[in-house]
Amino acid sequence: MKYSKIFKDKLNCNSADEVFNYLIDNLKETIKTWDYFVNWNKVIRNYQDVEISLNVLNTLIGKKNVEVAAKNLLKEYPKVIAVIPSLLAYRERKVKLLSNIKNFETTEYDFSKPIDLDKAVMFLKESGFLKLVSDRKIKSIPDYFIGVEVGLDSNGRKNRSGTSMEDIAEFFIKDICQRKGYEYISQATADKIKQKWNKNITVTKSSKRIDFAVNTPNKLYLIETNFYGGGGSKLKSTAGEYAEIYHQWTNDGHQFIWITDGLGWQSTKRPLRDTFDNTDYIINLDMIQKGVLEELLY
């Protein structure tokens, strides 16, 4: 850690040890906002893409001989077939199923192209969907579909935590840059940095995206952000990865700042401390609020 008077002025920390303790003691429990729960724009967009097909399928509700009705419907409206996997919360258009356990025979269903109607109806029947429709357990297929999409979207919550961290960091970075006349790029790549500021950075992959690059009159600052609400082995590898990145970019003549937060670090202090001791600046959101980042960017 490169101890600076900034930490004394802003945090009343008199040594690197005190800075690290401050970092650990002031981790945020959560950064969840209202958009963490459901990406409604995505849900509604997916719904609108198949809205007509869903309303056509809705005519099957309550049908007694639902298999015959389904076959007739799919024959008359073949485009509806493409939506079948989505009714079962399955994103792929192709699925291979074990149809005979004794002989381990499989049957492939490909909903991306015209499919045998009997196979399509069998898929709907054996999956249990047709019975739910016939028994009116599902009363509205469009409403049911929106519920399925909400469930699928919950898988994106982990990614939204990462995006929330970037959004919070950008709130402060943008403000600092506007007041001081600095330029910054979010999701920066080596090519973008070269094109905009004619500065070279070392990256192991050309597709590597840096959360933020801030160009000041004195130096290029490369900033990575993340949030860990829980511990795990990933935190140890992440800490090691950022130590390597620090050395690469320092050798390029640039400054690396790692903004990280979350209570997960409280149970993974050792690898964080190792990286803390071997890099210049690791800060959390509380430190940014206290003005540390603004003083580091000069």
In whole angstroms, what is the distance from residue 238 CA to residue 241 CA? 5
In whole angstroms, what is the distance from residue 155 CA to residue 213 CA? 29
Which of 123-128's residues contact partners 24+ apart within 8 Å by CB, and which partners? Answer: 123/84, 124/70, 124/84, 124/87, 125/67, 127/88
How does DSSP assign 55-76, residue by residue? HHHGGGTT-TTHHHHHHHHHHH
Q: Which of 174, 159, 248 is nearest to 208 (CA)?
A: 248
**pLDDT by residue, tens only, the chain of 298 residues:** 899 999 999 999 999 999 999 999 999 999 988 888 999 999 999 999 999 999 999 999 999 999 999 999 999 999 999 999 999 999 999 999 998 888 889 999 999 988 899 999 999 999 999 999 999 999 999 999 999 999 999 888 877 766 889 999 999 999 999 999 999 999 999 999 999 999 999 998 777 899 999 999 999 999 999 999 887 778 989 999 999 999 999 999 999 999 999 999 999 999 999 999 999 999 999 999 999 999 999 9
In whole angstroms, what is the distance from residue 59 CA to residue 73 CA? 9
Which letter does DSSP use for residue 137 in this model?
Answer: S
260 contacts 246 by C-beta, under 8 angstroms: no
Element (H, E) at 54: helix 51-57
Helices (H), 181-291: 190-197, 233-251, 269-278, 285-289
pLDDT of residue 271: 94
Give residue for tokens 């490369």: 222
In whole angstroms, what is the distance from residue 80 CA to residue 100 CA? 28
- The domain defined by 5-30+182-296 folds into Trna Endonuclease; Chain: A, domain 1 (3.40.1350)
pLDDT of residue 155: 81
194 contacts 200 by C-beta, under 8 angstroms: yes
Give residue for tokens 């603004």: 294
- Bridge partners (DSSP) of residue 261 are 227
* Residue 18 main-chain phi, psi, to 5 deg: -70, -35
Domain residue ranges of the chain, discontinuous segments joined by +: 5-30+182-296, 40-155
57 contacts 83 by C-beta, under 8 angstroms: yes
210 contacts 197 by C-beta, under 8 angstroms: no
pLDDT of residue 154: 86
pTM for the model stands at 0.77
In whole angstroms, what is the distance from residue 152 CA to residue 271 CA? 34
pLDDT of residue 114: 87
Element (H, E) at 176: helix 157-180
In this structure, the strands spanning 255-261 and 220-227 are parallel
Give the tokens for residue 17.
């040890």
Q: 292 burial class (0-12, 13-18, 19+ CB within 10 angstroms)?
A: buried
In whole angstroms, what is the distance from residue 172 CA to residue 56 CA? 49
In this structure, the strands spanning 210-215 and 183-188 are antiparallel
pLDDT of residue 158: 73
